[in-house]
Chain A
Amino acid sequence: AQSVTQLGSHVSVSEGALVLLRCNYSSSVPPYLFWYVQYPNQGLQLLLKYTTGATLVKGINGFEAEFKKSETSFHLTKPSAHMSDAAEYFCAVSTNYGQNFVFGPGTRLSVLP
């Protein structure tokens, strides 16, 4: 079975500062990893995903994440936060032929002016 932890239920950064949202996973088989964003009163939108190949993946809105197998991590970063980045961010894990699509508890990102 797979599971996901996200360190920090709430992260605050200043506008223009680096955004770092942490995600660690547990999986007995090679994982497929995803980051989603949820804006208030909306559904979930995919930011980026790692399935195979390059371990540094780029997504929408300037976000990127790096898969580190040795650390079982898939942290999300953005060099410079924008006010519009304020939202809830979820990391998710699945596996090849896996039925399960499991989410972490989420991290709320606040961006301060």
Chain B
Amino acid sequence: DTAVSQTPKYLVTQMGNDKSIKCEQNLGHDTMYWYKQDSKKFLKIMFSYNNKELIINETVPNRFSPKSPDKAHLNLHINSLELGDSAVYFCASRFRDRNTEAFFGQGTRLTVV
């Protein structure tokens, strides 16, 4: 049983399109994250939710909108995709107040052409 699962694993799309990436965790965690990993492997936090409430919203274009319908899901919707959005996007989850590690999904490789 996969702890943190993301779909799709690969996403190739044209500039200007709108796309979504879904994330689900079955660990009962109260906090979920989206990270962007660029071509130099740098992991940049984008958003963080705690119990469905947005807590961290780093400097990310408004075209990126996270949605958390419940504690187990955190989806990422991207409007008007640009070439620079090409990256690997990772979802993660953890218990914020138990000093635990973050558990990561396998990533979604987004390629904008």
User: Which A residues are within 8 Å of any B CB, using their own CB?
Assistant: 32, 34, 36, 38, 42-46, 49, 51-52, 88, 90, 92, 94, 96-103, 105-106, 108
Contacts and interface: CB of A to CB of B under 8 A. Distances in A.
Nearest to B48: A99
Contacts of B40: 105
Interface of B: 31, 33, 35, 40-43, 45, 48, 50, 55-56, 90, 92, 94, 96-97, 99, 101-107
A88 B56 contact: no
Contact of B41 (A34, A96, A99, A106): A106
Nearest to A32: B99
The B interface is mostly helix, strand or loop, or mixed, namely strand
Contacts, number: 57
B99 A94 contact: yes
B99 A51 contact: yes
A99 B42 contact: no
B43 A97 contact: no
B42 A106 contact: yes
Given A99-B56, A105-B42, 15 more contacts: A34-B101, A38-B41, A42-B106, A44-B104, A45-B104, A51-B99, A52-B99, A88-B41, A97-B97, A99-B48, A99-B96, A101-B33, A101-B45, A106-B41, A108-B41
A51 B100 CA distance: 8
Contacts of A96: 97, 99
